[in-house]
Structure 1
Amino acid sequence: MVDWTRLGGLPGGQVFGGVETWVDRSKPAGCTSQVQQLGLENTLRQIVTFKYFFYSPNLVWCILAMAVYVAAPYDISAATSWSWSWVLPRLCLNFAVALAYYGFFYFGLYVSHWSSRKFAPDRFPTSGNMAHNLYYWSLGILQWTLLEALMMRLWATGKVPYVTAADIISKPVLLCLNVFWVLAMPVWRDLHFYIAHRFIHIRAVYKYVHSLHHRNSDPEPFSGLTMHPIEHLYYYSNAFFPALYLSGLSPFLFYWCFFHLAIAPACGHSGFEDHFQSDQYHYCHHAKFECNYGSPMSGFIDQWCGTFREKLGESKEYKGEFKEESKGKSSKIWAPESYLGMPKDMYHGIYTVFWASMVPLVALATQHSGQLLGFSIAQLTAGTVAFGPVLLALALCHLSGDKLSWRWPFQKERLLGQFGLFLTLGYLACLLPIYHAVSWSVAAGL
């Protein structure tokens, strides 16, 4: 029997003010244990019963994605030639949709105070914090659009196959394939997030890339997409599978994955416990850092790796090395380092120049063909974009005299074991799709 009250994952049927049934309101926000909600058995049960889709925010996001896509589908025929006339409308659309969603929750939580259970009730962002977050958030929307344009060009030039709505309706096999991926996308998104998130926590990549996202130890909605552009690149790599590699798929699947990527971080980084898609699991990660790399759906992996923390405060489950702040020393200032500014040192400056040069590098490469050092220009460009950020980060860590292990905080894991497994998965899930997408695009003249 369908429980209509739980459709869409609205706690108590409310967007603001409601909490999940497992939350103990007598305890401070974030201090209710999540142990009973997690585990491989619970995850499999969620998947088999489709509760992960219909009784969660995934249903709401899918409906919103379908509505936007029906109103403004990809104009693939226009993408047969590069022109800002079809790119700019996508940028405006993406910016408007994302700003409306993120702005709605920021207004409801931080302006109108429709929710009251804040994880850190004495901390609030300043105007400087918000300027910082909105800047990097906007770069995330821009990169979303550029990668969409790249994929549209691959479809338009025939480098990657796709099927139309008419094809899907006329062929039951294609219909079943596409429905399967619509339903499976949130599960794949969750798995990819865990892999990518652990990958960017490796010391060198964390130092020059992911540390920017962690400036917000007490995040607000726009913090969700406040990332370094290189982190955006690896985070968004999720959208290129299955769209880049499988045939018989509608372009909507690419949009559905990207919509999920762009929208989901908003409420998951809200800083509050009592609203739609509140995420205590991920808030613990921001507050305590060395824990909870996944989400409740992939929590069993954190449990397996010994990186699971069930709540704020004293934890009975956590086996890592994070030490609680001593009493009286916790700051009431909200992310004081989250302000725009110059790179902190010469090495961060070099890294900034490198990532800022990547877009003109790709554009320049499309104007040239031929080979260099035995590799095509397309391969060299793609390798620079996909692998360059990691290799440069490792080199700069070494040159700067960084004293931590290059594998920190996973230095105790076996290289030919748990660490090696996730390093390989990071390569396959994050770096390789970016390499292929850029290589094929440059070869097609973008």
Structure 2
Amino acid sequence: MDETRFGTRDRRGHYVPKDPIASPPVYAMPPRPKRVLSWLVGHDGYLFPWNAVLFAIAAGIWVLLTPPMETMATLSPGWILYLLARNAVLITLFFGAFHLRLYMKQKQGSAFKYNPKFPEKAGQRGFLFGSQTRENVFWTLCSGVPIWTAYEVVMLWLFASGKLPWLSFADSPVWFVLFMALIPIWREFHFYCIHRLIHWGPFYRWIHKLHHNNVNPGPWSSLSMHPVEHALYFSVVLIHVILPSHPLHALYSLHHAAFGSLIGHIGFDKVVTGDRSAMDTHAYAHYLHHKFFEVNYGDGLVPLDRVFGTFHDGTPEGDRAMDARRRRRMQSQRQAG
């Protein structure tokens, strides 16, 4: 598939999509019901493909790979270690499949790759083990998966032991489905809030800088974080302690955070699936965050970057707005000093 149909390369060879990053039509004024409906249920919209894929993963894990609730009513090493091993295997298969195809075998070369360099061919100084990928794998499996699993263990135990009431589909089918549909929105709101927090000076240096070592991110960069950031990131599931929900809601929140983290870090604008077909990744907003650090703290589903003036749409106008914000900030710092 010819990438020039969809974007261009700048003077450094970085891929830039032709279309600016746009907010979902649900925020358009005046309202456009047909566009909103198409975005909600159509191809490359809210539900399809990514949220549907992530829900399918969570539902499959709940039905096929989660111990019986009677077993989880008592905390015991057996089922806890099983969940830890299950999550480690699944995330390795998921991230590993994209890494193998796009980065090791390079099935589509650098077509649609934002940064044309592949991490293992670029400078590796400053990374553990002298390798970006090996460092990313280490933090994912040795910190991310255990902390994710700890949240999952606690939530499932609370449900199984009766300490949290269940909301079944039969009890309230409308709320059950609506809550499930709103989880990606809640997750982005939560992510924006904790992301802004850890970009604050000391927190950035102590915690978030580890993740931002990945200026040229790849699949394994997705969960390469400091343990404190992992604890904040997966705390998204705590909403289910407050609002009536089902264990599947909690699993979807956690697995959307775990598996869905790949979307913004895949490093490619499209994953080519055939001679004339490709899957959009919608990764450009978060790629720009890794490139510029102070824009696009969210991915645009919740328009907080627009509200707080940190949105970058990927255009030259976005560059100029970002530069103007920097100049204003530097000027105010000089005046304060």
TM-score range for the pair, normalised by the shorter chain length: 0.7 to 0.9
Q: Specify which of 174, 185, 200 is matched with residue 202 of structure 1.
A: 200
Q: Specify which of 41, 66, 71 is matched with residue 27 of structure 2.
A: 41
CA offsets, 1:21-64, max 9 Å, x none? Answer: 9x425765542365462277259867665244333411121122
Conserved? CA contact 1:53–1:186, under 8 Å: no
CA spacing shift, 1:239–1:47, aligned 2, 3 Å: farther
Conserved? CA contact 1:80–1:153, under 8 Å: yes
Deviation at 1:312, TM superposition (A): 7.3
Conserved? CA contact 1:105–1:267, under 8 Å: no
| Structure-1 residue corresponding to 2:264 | 268
State yes or no: 1:121 paired with 2:116: yes
Matched position secondary structure for 1:31? strand
Query: Match of 1:287, as an amino acid?
Result: K
Conserved? CA contact 2:20–2:315, under 8 Å: no
CA spacing shift, 1:100–1:210, aligned 2, 3 Å: same
Output the CA distance in 1 between the equivalents of 2:36 and 2:115: 33
Output the CA distance in 1 between the equivalents of 2:14 and 2:3: 10
Conserved? CA contact 2:15–2:116, under 8 Å: no
Conserved? CA contact 2:9–2:15, under 8 Å: no
Identity %: 26
TM-score by length of 1: 0.61
Deviation at 1:285, TM superposition (A): 0.5
Output the CA distance in 1 between the equivalents of 2:304 and 2:297: 9
Query: Match of 1:305, as an amino acid?
Result: F
| Structure-2 residue corresponding to 1:177 | 175
Gaps of 5+ in 1: 1-16, 323-407, 413-446
Matches within 5 A, 1:117-196: 117-125=112-120, 128-138=131-141, 139-163=143-167, 167-169=168-170, 171=171, 174-196=172-194
Output the CA distance in 1 between the equivalents of 2:21 and 2:257: 27
Deviation at 1:81, TM superposition (A): 2.4
| Structure-1 residue corresponding to 2:241 | 244
Conserved? CA contact 1:291–1:320, under 8 Å: no
Deviation at 1:317, TM superposition (A): 3.5
Of the two, which has the highest radius of gyration? 1
State yes or no: 1:31 paired with 2:16: yes
Conserved? CA contact 2:113–2:269, under 8 Å: yes
Output the CA distance in 2 between the equivalents of 1:205 and 1:20: 40
Deviation at 1:68, TM superposition (A): 2.0
- How much is the aligned-residue C-alpha RMSD, in angstroms? 3.0
Output the CA distance in 2 between the equivalents of 1:252 and 1:158: 15
| Structure-2 residue corresponding to 1:53 | 46
CA spacing shift, 1:74–1:192, aligned 2, 3 Å: farther
| Structure-1 residue corresponding to 2:250 | 254
Conserved? CA contact 2:151–2:237, under 8 Å: no
Deviation at 1:150, TM superposition (A): 1.3
Conserved? CA contact 2:8–2:15, under 8 Å: no
CA offsets, 1:89-141, max 9 Å, x none? Answer: 11121112111110011011111212322222134236622221111011101
Conserved? CA contact 1:220–1:271, under 8 Å: yes
Matches within 5 A, 1:37-116: 37-38=22-23, 41-42=27-28, 50-51=40-41, 52-115=45-108, 116=111
Deviation at 1:313, TM superposition (A): 6.9
- How many residue pairs were aligned? 301
Output the CA distance in 1 between the equivalents of 2:252 and 2:320: 38
Conserved? CA contact 1:219–1:269, under 8 Å: yes
Conserved? CA contact 2:214–2:290, under 8 Å: yes
| Worse-superposed segment, 67-76 or 311-320 | 311-320
Output the CA distance in 2 between the equivalents of 1:244 and 1:280: 33
Conserved? CA contact 1:271–1:283, under 8 Å: yes
Conserved? CA contact 1:140–1:225, under 8 Å: yes
Query: Match of 2:22, as an amino acid?
Result: Q
TM-score by length of 2: 0.79
Output the CA distance in 2 between the equivalents of 1:20 and 1:258: 37
CA spacing shift, 1:63–1:79, aligned 2, 3 Å: closer
